[in-house]
Amino acid sequence: MAMFDGMSISATGMTAHRLWMDVISSNLANSESTRSAEGGPFRRQMLVLGESQKRSGVEIQQVLADPAPPRQVLDPGHPDADANGMVAYPNVDPVREMVDMMAASRAFEANAVAMTAAKQMLARALEIGKA
């Protein structure tokens, strides 16, 4: 293991979890969007993380649309209502998104602490080398 591998692994984790928080923010921002560029309501986005093939750590393999069906709400006055008065709203659950946001935030913090610890160990090793 090279001297900076620990910090590199933590950096990939921090990058992945920052993107996860960005995706969650987008999901929350679009939780009431009944129209999207693809047509129909916004679809909740999810990340697929995996082991990096290029270096040690993790990488984002893809961003997927959640296959869960949209939630149907009776609102005959809505411009996007169908013939039965049902409106398709995004399949975004704000409570689930907030729980995911807390998990992503904690994971980001854990990687930051690991990076700080690796940096401190390298500094100590340099101090030992000076003596």
- pLDDT tens sequence across 82-96: 999 999 999 999 999
Q: What is the pTM of this model?
A: 0.84
| Predicted local distance difference test score (pLDDT) of residue 131 | 64
SS3 content of the chain, % helix, strand, coil (to 5): 45, 20, 35
Cα–Cα nearest to 17, from 100, 116, 115, 114: 100
Task: Extract the residue ranges of the chain whose pLDDT is less than 50.
Answer: none
| Predicted local distance difference test score (pLDDT) of residue 1 | 56
